[in-house]
Chains A and B, each alone.
Chain A
């Protein structure tokens, strides 16, 4: 069955770099786009970026200078790296799948459990 699971450090120091991994199963990264979404505690959802089926990426313009997403299709893993972290980057980070098979649906049908990342000053 389709699963996504985020992993990475739960505590990061301010000004350092966050590295998260999304390991997927039950589908191929060459057939579906994977998106990163974050949610500050008690707040709403923010789209961060996407890695498309062909490996191209798009980023939220507010994060673009600090964010990169890439993948290893042989390991079914998607990687997020964001540098120059600040305390307002404290959030739950989710990876999720675009529901379109070999196309783009634009809505997200499977989500990981999320990883709570705290940025400490």
Chain B
């Protein structure tokens, strides 16, 4: 199974700041990576797929990049509504689909 490692586990940032979350796969996943946002008390929501494609309706301040085993999610100009946990998920090799451990983003 492909293991996904996310960093950092938690993050505190100020409004308007740029935030980057990293995700590392245990082997090459050839851009088969998605990012999800989970607001407190809510279900996860798809943000990005294919490592860098924005899902319908997701604000353009979110972007994804990376290749091979290293991927990142960037949030430009952090807004209060971006306070959430973020999870990466690989789908290059499944089953099983595997998720990163999550990054909890809070406001400073």
Contacts and interface: CB of A to CB of B under 8 A. Distances in A.
Determine if chain A interacts with chain B.
yes
B34 A44 contact: no
Contact of B46 (A45, A61, A109): A109
A108 B32 CA distance: 12
Interface string A94-112: 1010010000011111011
A25 interface: no
Interface residues of A, number: 23
Contacts of B46: 99, 107-109
27 contacts: A35-B97, A44-B87, A44-B99, A44-B100, A44-B101, A45-B36, A45-B44, A45-B89, A45-B99, A47-B98, A47-B99, A94-B43, A94-B44, A96-B44, A99-B49, A105-B91, A106-B97, A107-B34, A108-B34, A108-B44, A108-B46, A109-B55, A111-B43, A111-B44, A112-B43, A113-B43, A114-B43
B53 to A, nearest CB: 10
Interface string B38-82: 000011111001000001000000000000000000000000000
Contacts of B91: 105-107
